[in-house]
Amino acid sequence: MAWAPPLPPLAYAESRVAYWRAILDIPDGEPAAPVLRLMAAHRLLELGGLSKAEIRRLRPLLQDSRQ
């Protein structure tokens, strides 16, 4: 089954977090997956939608983008 982009977020913070989480889970085979994951990671960080464990897991991705 092909990945389908999530519906656009509503005005609620929980729906925005869910939207970006769905984008963070994009499969590797999708076009521009690394760029979309990076965008999602940054947005989730801004929204406070990541746990400390998730931040540690995504830290290499976020640090690579600053170089």
Whether 6 is covered by a domain: the verdict is no
Whether 8 is covered by a domain: the verdict is no
Structural domains in the chain (count) = 1
Q: Determine the structural domain holding residue 24 and report its residue range.
A: 13-65
pLDDT in tens, 30-60: 989 999 999 999 999 999 999 999 989 888 8
Q: What distances in angstroms separate CA 40 from CA 26, 64, one per listed residue?
A: 10, 15
CA dist., res. 3 & res. 67, Å (int): 30
**Residue-level pLDDT at 41:** 92
Q: Which residues contact 20 (CB under 8 A, 6 or more apart)?
A: 9, 40, 43, 44, 47, 49
Q: Report the b/e string of 31-41 with b at 16+ CB within 10 A.
A: eeeeebbbebb
- Give the closest residue to 46 by CA, choosing from 22, 15, 13, 23: 13
Whether 2 is covered by a domain: the verdict is no
Whether 54 is covered by a domain: the verdict is yes
